[in-house]
Amino acid sequence: MPGLIERYQSRLPFADGDPVISLEEGSTPLVFAPRLSERVGVEVWLKIEGANPTGSFKDRGMTCAVSAAVRDGAQAVICASTGNTAASLAAYAARAGIRGVVIVPEGKIAMGKLAQALMHGARVIALHGNFDRALQLVRELSATHPIALVNSVNEFRVEGQKTAAFEIAEELDEQLDALCIPVGNAGNITAYWRGFNELGMRPRMFGFQAAGAAPLVHGHPIEQPETVASAIRIGNPARWEQAMDAMTSSGGSVNAVSDEQILDAYRFLAAQEGVFCEPASAASVAGLIAHGAGEAQRVACVLTGHGLKDPDTALQQVGAVIPCEPELSAIERAVMS
Ligand code: AN7
């Protein structure tokens, strides 16, 4: 499959001959979820964004943001991140042969994402502060230094991420009643809404935030957001108004889900659907289970990142392995009991 700039060039702000930094992102599976559909009583499809090259939806935005940065002559790119943007930036900067710098909240990003950022050769800076403070600082820094900011405040990120809506539309023949999606910094819900609008579609947009990090639900920024879903541990989303507009003008809503509900959906998807996503991604399904999706009959849930990103949380949720002596009788007992 071609990368998404190539696949959707006529709908993206790129011209023939522009540099394209791609890892063949996009074209991710949209998988029917029979057990989840039965549980909630509507037809549910899962958009598996963990199948992107670095394991999250961020690659859609990053191919565009880094390609544009290279086109504009940037020698370095920077972001604040709860982890996935950092991993994606690092990979695309490596691919482009430019410097990558990421600022992450110290001790608060999942192990897989940290490993990715470091392996791809980015400079990883651990801030004694949260994501919101990190974003504030990189905005100030990039305003006065020749370093391109590729958080989703960057328009190219939203442009790239809207292509996921195009893919869902193609696969479902534009027949979709509602979209369930986790909301952190609110770039992705903004992007999906833009994508659907460009096709003349108006599915209800249901955004879900972790209860301890739910500024849009409470209507004010949260000073110290907390949740097991570290990717969406964000208290002051950059695209606040656009996200609210997507939800209200589509007839959707924003709701909170507890960590317990998130983890229940996380385990359910892995054990009952064979789909391993990260905790933040499971917020979309937790929200559908807890709050429903209005009158919708056909729903898509966006699973934004791969479960392997966060092995620590996974291992805390499951039983222990079974130790065994290397003898047939022992293995018989272990397997059959
Ligand atoms: C798995 O990486 O903000 O509402 O810095 O990694 O567009 O922010 C990640 C966000 C959902 C929320 N699911 O999307 C970052 C970062 C996963 C994520 C979100 C994120 P937005």
The CA distance from 310 to 55, in Å, is 11
Q: Which CATH architecture has domain 4-56+160-316?
A: 3-Layer(aba) Sandwich (3.40)
Instruction: Answer yes or no: is pLDDT of 215 > 80.
Output: yes
Does ligand 1 lie within 6 Å of residue 134's CB atom? no
Instruction: Answer yes or no: is pLDDT of 197 > 90.
Output: yes
Does ligand 1 lie within 6 Å of residue 54's CB atom? no
Max alpha carbon distance in the chain (Å)?
Answer: 70
Q: How confident is the model at residue 1 (pLDDT cuts 50, 70, 90)?
A: confident
User: Which pLDDT score, from 0 to 100, does residue 314 have?
Assistant: 98
Fold exhibited by the domain 58-155 = Rossmann fold (3.40.50)
The CA distance from 39 to 28, in Å, is 24
Which residues belong to CATH 3.40.50.1100 in the chain? 4-56+160-316, 58-155
Does ligand 1 lie within 6 Å of residue 216's CB atom? no
Q: Which residue, judged by its Cα, is nearest atom 16 of ligand 1?
A: 82
- Give residue 130's region: left, alpha or beta (phi > 0; psi -120 to 50): beta
Average pLDDT over residues 196-204: 98
User: In this structure, which long-range contacts are made by residues 243-247, counting pairs with CB atoms below 8 Å and at least 24 apart in sequence?
Assistant: 243/183, 243/186, 243/189, 243/190, 243/207, 243/216, 244/216, 245/193, 246/189, 246/190, 246/192, 246/193, 246/205, 246/207, 247/189, 247/205, 247/206, 247/207
Does ligand 1 lie within 6 Å of residue 250's CB atom? no
User: Which pLDDT score, from 0 to 100, does residue 335 have?
Assistant: 96
Task: Give tens-digit pLDDT for 305-336.
Answer: 999 999 999 999 999 999 999 999 999 999 99
- Which among 183, 212, 190, 239 is positioned nearest to 108, based on CA atoms? 212
